């Protein structure tokens, strides 16, 4: 192998590693957002249930 081939192979490896890391970070962030959204929905459901119980109790 000559120097140019080694340089190109190294560059290709660096690009693949970079893309893989970016994708993993993106997927981790997407998962974190999904978990946060689910928690917000559960909190909202609990809040609405509490408000409904209070409304019924006042009736």
Give me the DSSP letters along 11-58: HHHHHHHHHHHHHHHHHHHHHHHHHHHHHHHHHHHHHHHHHHHHHHHH
Q: How far apart are CA 28 and CA 35, in angstroms?
A: 11
Task: Give the largest Cα separation in the chain, rounded.
Answer: 86
Residue 13: the pLDDT is 92
Task: Give the torsion sign (CA, 6, 12, 18, 21).
Answer: negative
Residue 46: the pLDDT is 98
DSSP state for residue 8 in the 8-state scheme: H
* pLDDT tier for residue 20 given thresholds of 50, 70 and 90: very high
Query: What value does the mean pLDDT of the chain take?
Result: 95
Rounded average pLDDT over 45-52: 98
- The verdict on pTM exceeding 0.75 is no
Residue 2: the pLDDT is 85
């Amino acid at each position: 192998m000559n120097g140019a081939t080694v340089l190109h192979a190294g560059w290709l490896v660096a690009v693949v590693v970079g893309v893989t890391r970016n994708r993993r970070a993106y997927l981790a962030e997407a998962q974190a957002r999904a978990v946060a959204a689910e928690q917000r929905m559960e909190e909202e459901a609990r809040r609405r249930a509490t408000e409904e119980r209070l409304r019924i109790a006042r009736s």
